[in-house]
Amino acid sequence: MTLFGRWWRGSDEDAAHESMPESFRGMLEGLQPRHARYLSAYAAVLARIAYSDREVTQDEAAVMNRIIQDVDDVPSVDAELIVAIAVASARQIGEEEGREAAELIGRFGTRAQRLGLLRCLFAVAAAHNGVSAQEFAKIEQIGRELGLGPGDLQTCRVDLERRSAR
Amino acid at 15: A
Name all contacts of 33-36 with Cβ < 8 Å and 24+ positions apart: 34/10
Is residue 133 within 8 A of residue 69, CB to CB? The reply is no
Q: What is the model's pTM?
A: 0.81
pLDDT tens digits along 95-120: 788 888 999 999 989 999 999 999 99
Distance CA 84, CA 78 (A): 10
Q: Give tens-digit pLDDT for 3-60.
A: 445 455 554 444 444 445 566 666 677 788 888 888 888 998 998 888 776 777 787 8
Tell me, what DSSP letter sits at residue 121?
Answer: H
The torsion angles phi and psi of 41, rounded to 5 degrees, stand at -70, -45
DSSP 149: -
- Helices first, then strands: H and E counts in the chain: 10, 0
Q: Which CATH number do you get for residue 12?
A: 1.10.3680.10
What CA–CA distance (Å, rounded) separates 42 from 26? 17
* Mean per-residue pLDDT of the chain: 80
What SS3 class is residue 47?
helix
118, 156 contact by CB (below 8 A): yes
* Contacts with 19 (C-beta within 8 Å, 6 or more apart), sequence order: 3, 6, 7
Query: How many other CB atoms are there within 10 angstroms of residue 1's CB atom?
Result: 10
Which domain covers residue 155, as residue numbers?
Answer: 3-165
State residue 24's pLDDT score. 62
Indicate the number of domains in the chain: 1
